[in-house]
Amino acid sequence: MSNDSWIALLGDMLPGLAISLQLTSGMLAIGLPLGLLLAAGISRPDKFTRYTAVAAVEIGRGVPVLVLLYLVYFGLPQTGLTLDGVLATMLALGISFAGYTAEVFRAGIQAVPAGQHEAAKALGLPGGATYFRVIFPQALKIIIPPLLGWAVVFFQTTSLAFALAVPELLSRAYVLATTNFQYLNMLAIAAALYAAIAIPLSMLAERLARRETQHGKA
């Protein structure tokens, strides 16, 4: 194939990549606050809140993402709530993402030295201000690298939206391949586009993690 042919095929695939990135953004918008909420629930002293949060985390981790996709897309309509494929994918991935990242949030927050809590208390800061102005900003340095790593994993997991006929990257590659019969080329381009996003972000996550480790030792 000529370079022009490869460029043309690549151009045909970019709308699918845009949908995959849109799914990832929506998943993060749901999963990040939900994961933080679950982490807070796990740390609560009352058993009901703690056990409820733990159960939600285990569901997010234990149920395969594809099963969650089907539960949201095909199951919720029986309760009166119908979502299109894009929203269903965002919600299902967000639930799973929250299950995996809740522990990341909890560990990062607990890693902040106890002296920071005591200093905020001595200054008379209320609990909410202590959390959002003192504790959480420091925890972010620890939390961001693993969160970025999980975001990369779930960007790749958006390919499961193919099962709901969402025109994301893998689905786009397959549909185009059925028209031009260049299955190898289309799937290779899809793999290259996934890698072009995932590899740099994974390297960034590793670099940030090493920097934080070195800072902690210093």
User: Does residue 208 register a pLDDT over 90?
Assistant: no
pLDDT band, very low/low/confident/very high, at 141 (cuts 50, 70, 90):
confident
For position 110, what pLDDT does the model report? 83
Span 34-56, mean pLDDT? Answer: 90
Compute the distance between CA of residue 210 and CA of residue 204 in angstroms, rounded to an integer: 10
Closest to 85 (Cα-Cα) out of 175, 25, 93: 93
Query: Using one digit for the tens of pLDDT, what is the confidence trace for 143-198?
Result: 999 999 999 999 999 999 999 999 999 999 999 999 989 999 999 999 999 999 99
pTM for the structure as a whole? 0.89
Query: Using one digit for the tens of pLDDT, what is the confidence trace for 72-81?
Result: 999 999 999 9
Q: Are 44 and 53 in contact (CB under 8 A)?
A: yes
User: Does residue 44 register a pLDDT over 90?
Assistant: no
Helix (H, G, I), strand (E, B) or coil at 200: helix
Count how many residues are written for the chain: 218
Which range among 22-26, 44-48, 90-94, 101-105 shows the weakest confidence by mean pLDDT? 44-48
**Tokens 């897309």 — which residue?**
73
Report which of residues 136 and 144 the model is more confident about.
144
User: Does residue 209 register a pLDDT over 90?
Assistant: no
Residue 22's H or E segment, with its range, is helix 3-42
Write down the mean pLDDT value for the chain. Answer: 89
For position 120, what pLDDT does the model report? 65
Report which of residues 58 and 140 the model is more confident about.
58
CATH of 3-217, one of 1.25.40.10, 1.10.3720.10, 3.40.50.1820, 1.10.287.1260: 1.10.3720.10
User: What does the domain layout of the chain look like in residue ranges?
Assistant: 3-217
For position 21, what pLDDT does the model report? 98
User: Does residue 62 register a pLDDT over 60?
Assistant: yes
For position 144, what pLDDT does the model report? 92
What is the per-residue burial (b if ≥16 Cβ within 10 Å, else e) of 196-213? ebeeeebeebeebbeeee
